Amino acid sequence: MSRAKKKTFDDSLDTLFDNKADVTVKPRSGGKSFADDLGALFGGLNDEPKRKASGGIDSLIRSTATITEKPSEPKGKRRLTVTLPEGLIKKLKDKAREENTYLREIIQELVDEYLANNDATQAA
């Protein structure tokens, strides 16, 4: 009883590679890396400045935007936080909407008026 030989994947591989093109493989020089070979092959396709990956998931994320500095406050101005009753804040916001302006401008006008009045009373 002779069994028929099963056809396997590698039976026809020899015929596949019989018509191969002549390919020469150059041995890699000691100082050259695979990345250098790719750089020579593709030229300067990726002109982004290289940055050292900090490892982990950061090494997988590519920067898509340039990092800019946080805009600073205009020269001669500083941020101030005040606590006011909710009713007063609502009135000030409503006034700003009526005048089609910002709340900070309304507060600036009030402070300017107060300082002008206070200076005038002290001078008298």
Q: Domains in the chain: how many in total?
A: 1
Asked whether residue 116 is domain-assigned, the answer is yes
Contact status, residue 102 vs residue 96, Cβ threshold 8 Å: yes
Q: Given this model, what pLDDT does residue 6 score?
A: 73
pLDDT band at 90 (very low <50, low <70, confident <90, very high): very high
| Model pLDDT for residues 97-107, shown as the tens digit of each residue | 999 999 999 99
Domain extent for 117: 86-123
Q: Given this model, what pLDDT does residue 71 score?
A: 66
Asked whether residue 64 is domain-assigned, the answer is no
| Model pLDDT for residues 15-74, shown as the tens digit of each residue | 666 655 555 656 655 656 777 776 776 665 555 556 665 666 766 676 666 666 666 667
Asked whether residue 114 is domain-assigned, the answer is yes
Contact status, residue 106 vs residue 92, Cβ threshold 8 Å: yes
Predicted TM-score (pTM) of this structure:
0.39
Q: Given this model, what pLDDT does residue 120 score?
A: 79
Asked whether residue 19 is domain-assigned, the answer is no
Which among 86, 71, 75, 80 has a CA at the least distance from the CA of 107? 80
Asked whether residue 78 is domain-assigned, the answer is no
| Model pLDDT for residues 8-26, shown as the tens digit of each residue | 777 666 666 665 555 565 6
